Every structure is written in structure tokens, then in C-alpha cells.
Amino acid sequence: KNRILSGIQPTGNLHLGNYLGAIRNWVALQEEYDSFLFMADLHAITVPHDPKSLAEDTYKVAATYLACGIDPQKSTIFVQSHISAHSELAWLFNCVTPLNWLERMIQFKEKAVKQGENVTVGLFDYPVLQAADILLYEPDLVPVGEDQKQHVELTRDIVNRFNFQYGSEDQPVIKVPEPMIQAAGARVMSLTDGTKKMSKSDPSEMSRIDLIDPPELIQKKIKRCKSDPVRGLEFDNPDRPECQNLLTLYMILSGQTKEAVAQECAEMGWGQFKPLLAETMVAALQPIQEKYHALMADRTYLESILREGREKAEAIALQTLAKAKVALGYSQPL
Ligand code: TYM
């Protein structure tokens, strides 16, 4: 079986972008692929965080994975910080990664602007840790949303350089993965600005739909979300980014084709479309929310899943780490 690996940072509630850009695709992929899915809690401290909620937020993401349909019989679910090989391989990769590769990272530049004086070495080094996360499990594919593509490309550059420097020509030390970006939902946009992506770090809660938002809040957010003064709704008009985003959400959540939605909504005004979208969203999220709340109430079950996941993941991670250390010329620990 081919393997996939992906993860999400436990910083606040997950939103519709995380679901449609990532988790939803994993649910489909786990049927065919050996799947490794984790909570990136080491990444979560690259910007200021609250120690009081880190552990709880990590459980919340695990419960969200399961509630969305990740099946622990088919997928291995684990916590990044529980497996110290992630940090260790990141250090080894730090020493093969040229500084200027990291200076090019778009997400770093965006986040650094927001952090001002408080930019840490960790925020800068974040993509190298992500490379370690991925390469420890030697996956074939890394299913992520569009915004993570550059990080997966960097991971490929790092492993190619590592293999070139420390492997033999016909024997790469570590397998080179490919990004996998599903077309629909790869970039869910903000509800208050159709040209910006939906993001956990947007200060306005009205800009995103969290997966656990109650129905009334979803209705309110959709009612108030940005639209435009044009009557009749259409896909692919670059002057109407909000229209594109909301129609796409409706298409995915209602399970219809683009053609069917284009036809259904061609003559609609916003006053008719928004309640339809809100209703569709509430219906799609309701079963996820029910499962989520039940899972959060059963800590023992969640813990057992994460314990099992850790055992399985760590066995593989340690093998890859050992290979990397041998290639670098380290002696065996005595
Ligand atoms: P994170 O936590 O920001 O996002 C998790 C996943 O959700 C996707 N995503 C979106 N997709 C569509 N539209 C949006 N508006 C949207 N917002 C987020 C992201 O593309 C991602 O797939 N660095 C990663 C976490 C990570 C990781 C890894 C991922 C750490 N190590 C190894 C893959 C492999 C991150 O911060 O994702």
C-alpha cells in the first residue's frame, strides 16, 4: 500500500478550510492508502501560545479528525510532541538546509510581519521541522491545502540535497514525497474578503466558519458575509471572488456538480442563495458536531487511540531516524 502523511496545528478551533482543504480528502484517501495523520503541537509554539490550552487543543483536533470520519482502524493518529524523533531529525536537516531557502518561505514572511519584534528562531525554522515530520514516515503523498504547497516543495528540496550529499547515486537514503492538492476546496476564502484565505489567525471570527459553530452562529455568519451587488450567481468571474468562494462551498457541501450548481443559481439573488447555503452548511456539519461532542466527553477512548497511534508511528519514525544518522556517519549509541 502507498502511504500518505499530513497534519494540522492545534491552535484554536478547526474551520471549514481545514476540513475541505485537508481532512475531507484524508477521509477518502484512508480507504486506499496507509495513512499517518497527526497533531502538529510542536509547530503550535512557533507563535505565542497559551500553555493552559495546548493539551486540550490537541485533543480537540484529534476528536475533530475522528468526528469527520477518520477511522482509527485505517489511519494512524498521533501527537507530534510524543515522538521525539521529529525534533531530532529536524536538527539533522537544519544542518543540510541553506539559510536562504527558508528566507524565501511565503508563510514565514506573512507571519513574521504579524509578530513584529517577537519572531523566534522556531518560526523561521518551522518548515525544516515540517520536512522532518513528513520524511520520518517516507510517505508517497502529502495531502494538504494550497497554502502548504511551498512547504512540501521545500521538503523535497531538503531530502534531495540530503540524499545527494549522504546517499549513493542509485540508493537514496530517504524517499522523496509529492504534494497532493485536491482541486475543489484547496483554498477556502475568508467570508469577509474573498481575496484572502480563511484562517485561524484572522482576528475577525466572522471571517470563518468553525466546524463546531452552532447552527444559529453559522446562519448569522453567512447572512452577514461579504457578497456583491450583482444579481445572478456565477463561477469563474475574477471580479466576483466572494461569489466564486460561496458557490464552491455550496457545491462541495451539497455534493453537486459545478454544472448543476451553476444552473441552479444562475438566476438567484443573494437573498435567496444565502439561506440555502447556510442550511446546507448546517446540515453537513451537524453529524460531525454530534460525534465531536461525544468524543470530547470520552477522554479514555481518545487517549487509547493516541497511545496506539504513537506506538505504530514511533516504530517507523525511529527506523528512518536511524538510517539518517548512519548516513551522516554517527556512531551507534552505546
Ligand atoms: P495548518 O494547521 O495551517 O492547516 C492544516 C491543513 O488545512 C489546510 N488549510 C486550508 N485549506 C483550504 N483553505 C483554507 N483556507 C485552509 N486553511 C488551512 C492546510 O493547507 C493544511 O493542509 N504546517 C502545517 C501543519 C504541518 C504539516 C506537517 C502538514 C506540520 N507538519 C507535515 C503536512 C505535513 C500547517 O500549519 O497547517
Cα of 25 vs centre of ligand 1, distance in Å, is 12
Cα of 121 vs centre of ligand 1, distance in Å, is 20
Question: 271 pairs with which residues across the strands?
Answer: none
In the three-class reduction of DSSP (H, G, I as helix; E, B as strand; rest coil), residue 34 is classed as: strand
Question: Does 73 belong to an annotated binding site?
Answer: no
Angle of helix 121-135 relative to helix 85-94, nearest 10 degrees, comes to 110
Is the beta carbon of 8 within 6 A of some atom in ligand 1?
A: yes
Is the beta carbon of 58 within 6 A of some atom in ligand 1?
A: no
pLDDT of residue 319: 98
Average pLDDT, the chain: 96
Question: Does 71 belong to an annotated binding site?
Answer: no
Strand pairing class (178-180; 141-143)? parallel
- CA dist 14 and 19 (Å) reads 8
**What is the residue with the minimal CA distance to atom 6 of ligand 1?**
18
Cα of 218 vs centre of ligand 1, distance in Å, is 22
Cα of 21 vs centre of ligand 1, distance in Å, is 8
Question: Does 147 belong to an annotated binding site?
Answer: yes
Is the beta carbon of 142 within 6 A of some atom in ligand 1?
A: yes
Per-residue confidence of the chain (334 residues) as pLDDT tens digits?
Answer: 999 999 999 998 999 999 999 999 999 999 999 999 999 999 999 999 999 999 999 999 999 999 999 999 999 999 999 999 999 999 999 999 999 999 999 999 999 888 888 899 999 999 999 999 999 999 999 999 999 999 999 999 999 999 999 998 788 999 999 999 998 889 999 999 999 999 998 999 999 999 999 999 999 999 999 999 999 999 999 999 999 999 999 999 999 999 999 999 999 999 999 999 999 999 999 999 999 999 999 999 999 999 999 999 999 999 999 999 999 999 988 8
Is the beta carbon of 97 within 6 A of some atom in ligand 1?
A: no
pLDDT (tens digit per residue) in 281-333: 999 999 999 999 999 999 999 999 999 999 999 999 999 999 999 999 999 88
- CA dist 51 and 32 (Å) reads 37
pLDDT of residue 69: 98
Quote ipTM for the complex: 0.99
- CA dist 156 and 141 (Å) reads 11
- CA dist 328 and 219 (Å) reads 56
pLDDT of residue 97: 98
Cα of 144 vs centre of ligand 1, distance in Å, is 6
CB atoms within 10 A of CB 209: 25
Q: Give catalytic residues, as residue numbers.
A: 111, 197, 200
Question: Does 69 belong to an annotated binding site?
Answer: no
Domains by residue range for the chain, with CATH: 3-180+299-328 (3.40.50.620), 205-294 (1.10.240.10)
Give the position, in ligand 1's atom list, of the atom nearest the Cα of 134.
Answer: 32
Question: Does 226 belong to an annotated binding site?
Answer: no
Decide: residue 37, CB within 10 A, 0-12 exposed, 13-18 middle, 19+ buried.
buried
**What is the residue with the minimal CA distance to atom 16 of ligand 1?**
17
pLDDT of residue 171: 85
pLDDT of residue 183: 86
**What is the residue with the minimal CA distance to atom 19 of ligand 1?**
145
Buried b / exposed e across 247-286, counting CB within 10 Å, b at 16+? bbbbbbbbeeeeeebbebbeeeebeebbeebbebbbebbe
pTM of this prediction? 0.96
Decide: residue 136, CB within 10 A, 0-12 exposed, 13-18 middle, 19+ buried.
buried
In the three-class reduction of DSSP (H, G, I as helix; E, B as strand; rest coil), residue 1 is classed as: coil
pLDDT of residue 328: 97
